[in-house]
Structure 1
Amino acid sequence: MPPRRRSTPVAESLTPDDLTKLATALADGRRATVYLREAVPSLGLEEGSSAKVVSIAGTTVTVSPRGVDDELPYEADELRITKDAPPKPEPAKKAPQRKAAPRKAAPAAATPAPKPAPTPSAPTPSSSGPDATPRPAVKRAPKKATPKKATQSVTVTVYGTTDNDWFVSMTRGAKKPPRSRPVTPEAVDAAVRELGDATTRDAVTSVLSAAHEEAQRRVEELSRELAAAKQALAALEKA
């Protein structure tokens, strides 16, 4: 019989290979699903809740959890590719301890001869008297200052739609915002230009340009409809 293949162990969070597979699924128009590693009580989400992947930017995965009418950004280490967490490896069994062999009793030592009683001498003066030398005070080492906890990381995500609607959301540590806040296209364009990242600026500019062309086309179409309506009204007035 051919040897059985060993199954690949499932990671606790999304791996670079998982991110590549999810991005490929989005590019092919297929549904990509991930699962939350931790519960979000404020949104009514339990651990292992499924979420549809909307977009992937680096290690940030924007998802739409099931039952939540919003899109939330997550880091790869906050999600996993399976609903249930992988089983934890069993602790290694300790080797049985060997019993030590009983030790042989040492032979009894010879009893020494009694020493003669010492000759009484003059009493030693007490250290508490007036001539006692004072002991130096013991200096205690200063306590080390407890380092302050590092500030929690902050993730800011800006995303736009094909209708030129832009939103911003902020994540502080493991907390999730209840909803994203809308922002103007002008504010997004100014913020991206200040960042100085050419790739991000080109991506945002392409979306803004497409929205501008669509708005210009709509204005021209409405202008033609308005002109036709004015001609129809003038003809009715002459009748």
Structure 2
Amino acid sequence: MPPRRRSQAATPSLTADDLARLTAAVAEGRRATVYLREAVPGLGLEAGSSARVLSVAGTAVTVKPRGVDDELPYEAEELRITKNAPPKPAAKKPAPKKPAAPKKPAAKKSPATTAPRTGAPEPAEAAPTVAPRRPTVKRTSTRTAKSVSVTVYGSADNEWFVAMTRGTTKPPRARAVAPEAVDAAMRELGDTIAHDAVTSVMSAAREDAKRRVDELSRELEAARQALAVLDSTD
């Protein structure tokens, strides 16, 4: 299952300390619970639904929500450590306005002395010309911005999965991909950090496979020796 939309900035998401505590709890076999920040109508999950943490890899958290059989990958910013978001701080009350000072009475104007008219009348002053204002037109975009999120998840058994979210469309579950395809994709991306993270998981899986082969080889050799002893007694 891919990560959900990255929204609700007002609701605190998992912090680095939360991720560290969740990682320690999973490693010690203790139950670790987080809560979804957004609803998932397709799975019947509401915002604030609880989910059990199965694994933590960096900022990626794999959970199993209550009442859902699938294991879903989430980003830390899509989860929170408490069920309910903290209340918003109360808005500050505006400071009371100071009473306005009383206005002073206007001084009386002395009557203007009119000059005697001469023969020709004075020309009237032309009225100022005011340019008409253009109407303001607000343009609203009809295109809805859509984002695409791709999540690659690898397990200690060298099993790899990829999940994608386009806009608000969520696929039912992640798809399995070959390890060599993941390695080639990381090389093409050119991101050193992402490639090193994938390489470390694959290297650990390779070492585990070698140890298993060595153990099976020793068991096979011991079985052959035991069989040789039994054959010699016939």
Same fold (TM over 0.5): yes
Query: Aligned to 2:20, what secondary structure does the other structure show?
Result: helix
Contact 1:189 1:205 in 2 (8 A): no
Residue of structure 1 aligned with 2:153, choices 158, 167, 186: 158
Structure 1 gaps, min length 5: 1-10, 125-139, 229-239
- 1:202 counterpart residue number: 200
Aligned residue identity for 1:178: P
Uncovered stretches (5+) of structure 2, i.e. residues with no partner:
1-10, 125-133, 228-234
What amino acid is aligned across from residue 158 of structure 1 in structure 2? Y
34-43 vs 146-155, which deviates more?
146-155
AA of the residue aligned to 1:182: A
Alpha-carbon distance in structure 1 between the residues aligned to 2:95 and 2:12? 30
- C-alpha distance in structure 2 between counterparts of 1:42 and 1:215, whole Å: 44
Shift of the 37–198 alpha-carbon distance from structure 1 to 2, 3 Å rule, reads closer
1:107 Cα offset (Å):
1.8
Query: Does the aligned pair in 2 maintain the 1:54–1:64 contact within 8 Å?
Result: yes
* Secondary structure of the structure 2 residue equivalent to 1:52: strand
Tell me what 1:181 maps to: 175
Counting matched residue pairs gives: 194
**Any conservation in 2 of the 1:72–1:176 contact (CA below 8 Å)?**
no
Greater relative CO (CA pairs within 8 A, separation 6+): 2
What TM-score comes out, normalization by structure 1 length?
Answer: 0.64
Which residue does 2:127 correspond to in 1?
Answer: none
Match runs of 1:1-239 below 5 Å: 12-117=12-117, 119-120=119-120, 152=147, 154-160=149-155, 162=157, 165-172=159-166, 176-191=170-185, 197-208=195-206, 210=208, 217=216
Query: Which structure is larger by alpha-carbon Rg, 1 or 2?
Result: 1
TM-score if structure 2 supplies the norm length?
0.65
After superposition, give the CA deviation of every residue in 1:173-226 in whole Å (9 maximum; x if it has no partner): 6654321112234434544566663342131233255457768959x98xx9xx
